[in-house]
Amino acid sequence: MTKTANVAVPMRDGTTLRADVYRPATSQAVPVILMRTQYGKAAAQDQPSRYQRPDWFASHCYLVVIQDIRGQFASGGTFSEFTNDRNDGYDSVEWAAKLPGSSGKVGMYGSSYVGATQWLATETVPPHLTTIVPANTGSDYYDGWTYENGAFRLNFIESWAMDTIVLSAANNRGDTKVAQQLTQDYKNIASWLRYTPYRSFPPFHPGDRTVAPYFYDWIAHRTDGPYWQRWTPAQHYSEINIPVLDIEGWYDAFLTGGVHNFTGMVSSGGSALARTNQRLVIGPWDHIGWGRPDSIVAPMLKQIGPVGNSPINELMLAWWDHFLKGIDNGVSNGPTVNYFEMGADVWKTAVAWPLPGTQWTNYYVSSGGHASSARGDGQLVTSPPTSGQQPDTYDDDPRNPVPSVGGHSCCAAPGGSQGPYDQRSVEQRSDVLVYTTLPLPTDTEVTGPISVTLYASSSAPDTDWTAKLVDVHPDGTAVNLNNGIQRASFRESSSAPTPIEPGKVYRYTITVWPTSNLFRTGHRIRLEISSSDFPQFDPNPNTGSWLGESTATQVAHQTVLHDAQHPSALVLPVIPASASGKASTTFPITARQ
């Protein structure tokens, strides 16, 4: 293998990007694998314990190109998130296909935004792009990336931007003063997360359009619309005709996007080749720590052990060997979902999502009107209420929001509020309603999408409703599996939010992100309902405005109903033993294993 650094890659507008090119020692023409990254081509996303180094891939007879995207690290031009990566992606793929020694077939790989650069390039249908392997990335850069059902993903967006893209872009353009200030500000990120209004966020210099204008665009466009839809991969599935290998984690920030990319391509991909060659892998991982054993993850993820380690490098090689080199190795055998079942700690395989044979099961909310905290009388039962029950009430104070303890977020476990953690401290709060089943008489597998039907009213013109699915162990340990949020004004539309009428009962659907978990015999299923999850999401001020534009807040009096006319319920995808796939402690790289 030989490496050539900082090779010039010309873009159509005259901007020059830079790439490192790794060539295998062979006289034969070989395929190209391309990574387009905003995090530095020298790093190539190999840490913490994620991808193998580029020379490792080159040693398997691939010509490897690692490129800095526009305005980052060694590349020229002005950086702007999402803005240039469609055209730049097309130009880079076609340039790479024509490199000396290239067979003309190009594959792409990379995680997070480096997954987005793949989808953005794919949307433009470069002729030589043959397959992509995006990991931990979304299907929509509005919902499930910057916002979630109307709530701003505060901890992810502000922390990630300050520590990575805004800082590295400042260094790229030689703005030393701003770079130094950002480094200092990040040391106080916990304090900055409480700064409002977000449209005046000082660390990104709101009056200076050279520092981070895209951040203020994201704040200005808090509803879905043309600003966001010009980029979203979900709008382009029917134009895309290549196989895709999607990699996701149960606690990742973009889990639902990865699942949507898989299901969208299976149902709407632009060719039979594309529709029948989609594969989704979901492991017991957070956003960055999926490459264990050396990465830092939540302790409960670490305890899973080697069976939870990522198979990504070997799986990618097998995928590329098949689709770029034509080797018949069984890596693709129709649409495939490989998922890790937590609780049992095994790998399983299915042919569709949701899993065939899923039994959608209602667990109804019940109480005597005193479900506040785990000490209350909240229950989950399988029979709908047949007589009147007293509603549960609590006060939501935006100045004292419920703290985020784990969940799906980004980016690193120490500061990202992500992963599984014991929820007992949260469940002691009076503004958290807790509903729990009796100990389960048999093992129960829950795998797939989750939702909560909630009948509720508020004294405010707008508010939030949060839901969290929890596995309660016999010793009382309460482990979060996944969570969701619904901003009341966005209950019907993400593009045209409308206020609620104070005191009026509404039927809400709260989307809890998917999971796969075996609730063991003697464990209990628990649902938490509240109105905040900070700093993962921005607190709703309960005024009808939001903290992107205002600093004013007020306390909201919340009422959750669960009587015969208002059957609030947790809806779980229960997988019967007859529908559950074969379990394995070894990840099946190919369909022939």
Q: Tell me which residues are annotated as active site.
A: 112, 252, 287
3-state SS of the chain: helix, strand, coil percent to 5? 20, 30, 50
CA atoms within 13 A on the CB side of 239: 14
Q: Which residues pair with 65 in a beta bridge?
A: 21, 34
Distance CA 453, CA 450 (A): 10
Token readout for 300 is 């409960």
Answer yes or no: are the C-beta atoms of 424 and 374 closer than 8 Å: yes
Answer yes or no: are the C-beta atoms of 32 and 57 closer than 8 Å: no
Residues composing the chain: 593
Angle of helix 154-163 relative to helix 213-220, nearest 10 degrees? 170
Torsions phi, psi for 272 (to 5 deg): -65, -35
Answer yes or no: are the C-beta atoms of 148 and 486 closer than 8 Å: no
Distance CA 521, CA 463 (A): 37
SS3 letters across 71-133: CCCCCCCCCCCCCCHHHHHHHHHHHHHCCCCEEEEEEEEEECHHHHHHHHHHHCCCCCEEEEE
Let me know if 200 is exposed, middle or buried by CB neighbors in 10 A (0-12, 13-18, 19+). middle
Q: Quickly count: other Cβ atoms within 10 Å of residue 498's Cβ.
A: 12
Answer yes or no: are the C-beta atoms of 270 and 237 closer than 8 Å: yes
Answer yes or no: are the C-beta atoms of 24 and 33 closer than 8 Å: no
Collect all residues with Cβ–Cβ distance below 8 Å to 42 and sequence separation of at least 6.
20, 73
Query: Integer distance in angstroms from the first to the last C-alpha of the chain?
Result: 31
DSSP state of 292: T
Handedness of CA 569, 570, 572, 576 (dihedral sign): negative
Distance CA 460, CA 542 (A): 5
